[in-house]
Amino acid sequence: MRNIEASVENYLEIVQSRGASIVSAASPLDARYEAARFIKQYDGSSIVEYMVKEFNWPFISNLIANRETLYRALGAKDDREAYTVLSKASSSPQQKFEERAFSKYFEHVGGELSLLPALRFYDRDGGRYITSSVFIACSEDVCNASIHRIMVSDDGSYAAVRVVPRHLYRMLKKSGEKGLPVAVVIGVDPRVLLAAATSPPYGVFELGIAASMLGGLAVCRTPRYNLPVPCGSSMVVEARLGPDRAREGPFVDLLQLYDDVRQEPVLHVEHIYVNKVYKPYMHVILPGGYEHMMLMGFPREAAIYEAVSRAVAGVSKVRLTPAGGMWLHAVVSIEKQHDGDGKSAGLAALAAHPSLKHVVVVDSDIDPDDPRQVEWAIATRLQADRGLVVIPAARGSTLDPSAQDGLTYKLLVDATMPIRDRDKYVKPTIGGQG
């Protein structure tokens, strides 16, 4: 089914028709902690909808409740198909969108920061946060879409945005004294978020990748800055980003740690619009929750799958593991053909996802989703003198508190069995079963 306007409402219809269910809160929740507790209760299991006391719009979380929901959305039956959908969309983004009138879809509701659907999640949070915000910006003839959290300070005096040094950062640096005009969309089909979480080369517009996955994309041009946004977005904010900076953080990141406090660009909100055609679901991603990990990690898993498939003859499964925040740790199982395959697979994984820190390579009889099996492989198949590769002082994740000056030691663990003597390593099965 197509959802070319990319609304949350249509997405819900699609995944519900394919078996996903939604849990509704009985009464409105408090924006401070109570909504977070409710989302957490269904983290990794079910989509939840709820009202938040001081807002009139419906809220929604866990849109990618688990892998099954994501696969349903992608129309895929397994990992391989899901990776293929994303990889194909990334390598052949649509270049043209269907343009529609902004005024047909959106009504102006004001410009105050207090209207932003921001919640407070954890006790040390630096303010209230919007976590599903997709920033759309164009510079010269290049457009970019990427996800950045927005922090609204507790006294409501400013909003700041965490901008990691990637494409939006590059545009911001070029924008000079006036700051960078941006359109921020909140509440879209999560396939738009997945596309925005991929890292194509500069110049590839991530909305084109979303369009490939959605079967087309209807965009509306924002009134002030003429920026293209999906017409089904629940909220559209027109703003200028920077050049001034303000305190941002702490915020709970993918690793379930409080990220550093930094000076980040201020978001100068000008106009806020809400969708009048679709039910304007405000999407909230629980920081450090399953949906956060899936949205960030799944595109990297697909990239690792693709890279390892080029490096060795057979890949069984790739997992960025939940305990590593689906960001720092990977387990890859392969059909080993040569004794060097374990190393080739691990090196390909590290290269495909620069934030990856530790990778364990196992044989295809080990399930990367089962930590006991992975540990069993390490216990019985690894010899540290030949199975470990340490890469000193490499570029690592900014989220890793143990890294120094952005540099980290990487580790590849080749826990595959040697080609010789394979008989010594087989998993025993109880006989007499046919």
Ligand X SMILES: C/C(=C\C(=O)O)CCOP(=O)(O)O
Residues of the shown chain interacting with Mn ion in the complex, contacts defined by CB under 5 A: 144, 167
**CB-nearer residue toward ligand X: 14 or 399:** 399
CB of 17 to Mn ion, least distance (A): 32
**CB-nearer residue toward ligand X: 285 or 348:** 285
Taking the CA atoms of residue 378, residue 382, residue 383 and residue 386 in that order, the dihedral angle to the nearest 10 degrees is -120
Residue 56's nearest CA partner among 128, 133, 114, 135 is 114
Q: Which of 79, 253, 259, 363 is catalytic?
A: 253
d(CA 290, CA 294): 6
d(CA 365, CA 173): 49
**Residue 167 contacts which entry, Mn ion, ligand X, none (Cβ below 5-8 A, type-dependent):** Mn ion
Contact (Cβ atoms closer than 8 angstroms) between residue 185 and residue 139: no
Taking the CA atoms of residue 96, residue 101, residue 106 and residue 107 in that order, the dihedral angle to the nearest 10 degrees is 150
Residue 198's nearest CA partner among 63, 76, 295 is 295
Nearest to Mn ion by Cβ — which residue?
167
Strands 134-139 and 22-24: unpaired
Q: Is the peptide bond before 368 cis (omega within 30 degrees of 0)?
A: no
d(CA 375, CA 392): 24
d(CA 52, CA 288): 21
**Residue 164 contacts which entry, Mn ion, ligand X, none (Cβ below 5-8 A, type-dependent):** ligand X
**Residue 253 contacts which entry, ligand X, Mn ion, none (Cβ below 5-8 A, type-dependent):** ligand X
**Residue 283 contacts which entry, ligand X, Mn ion, none (Cβ below 5-8 A, type-dependent):** none
CB of 428 to ligand X, least distance (A): 41
**Residue 336 contacts which entry, Mn ion, ligand X, none (Cβ below 5-8 A, type-dependent):** none
Encoded amino acid at 148, one letter: H
Q: How many CB atoms lie within 10 A of CB 420?
A: 8
CB of 227 to ligand X, least distance (A): 23
Binding region for ligand X (CB under 6 A): 162, 164, 253-254, 296, 355, 397-399
Helix 67-74 crosses helix 79-91 at what angle (to 10 degrees)? Answer: 50
Structure tokens at 100: 């529609």
Contact (Cβ atoms closer than 8 angstroms) between residue 108 and residue 102: no
d(CA 50, CA 57): 9
Residue 123 annotated to the active site: no
**CB-nearer residue toward Mn ion: 38 or 135:** 135
Distances (CA, A) of 255 to 46, 139, 395: 21, 32, 17
**Residue 144 contacts which entry, ligand X, Mn ion, none (Cβ below 5-8 A, type-dependent):** Mn ion
CB of 361 to ligand X, least distance (A): 21
**CB-nearer residue toward ligand X: 309 or 355:** 355
CB of 290 to ligand X, least distance (A): 13
CB of 425 to ligand X, least distance (A): 35
Strands 142-147 and 134-139: antiparallel
CB of 95 to Mn ion, least distance (A): 15
**CB-nearer residue toward Mn ion: 198 or 333:** 198
**CB-nearer residue toward ligand X: 176 or 401:** 401
Structure tokens at 146: 């990427």
Contact (Cβ atoms closer than 8 angstroms) between residue 285 and residue 291: yes
Burial (CB count <10 Å: 0-12, 13-18, 19+), residue 127? buried
Residue 46's nearest CA partner among 28, 63, 29 is 63
Number of residues assigned to the chain: 434
**Residue 296 contacts which entry, Mn ion, ligand X, none (Cβ below 5-8 A, type-dependent):** ligand X
**CB-nearer residue toward ligand X: 62 or 94:** 62
**Residue 398 contacts which entry, Mn ion, ligand X, none (Cβ below 5-8 A, type-dependent):** ligand X
**CB-nearer residue toward ligand X: 296 or 308:** 296
CB of 140 to ligand X, least distance (A): 25
Which active-site residues does the annotation give? 253
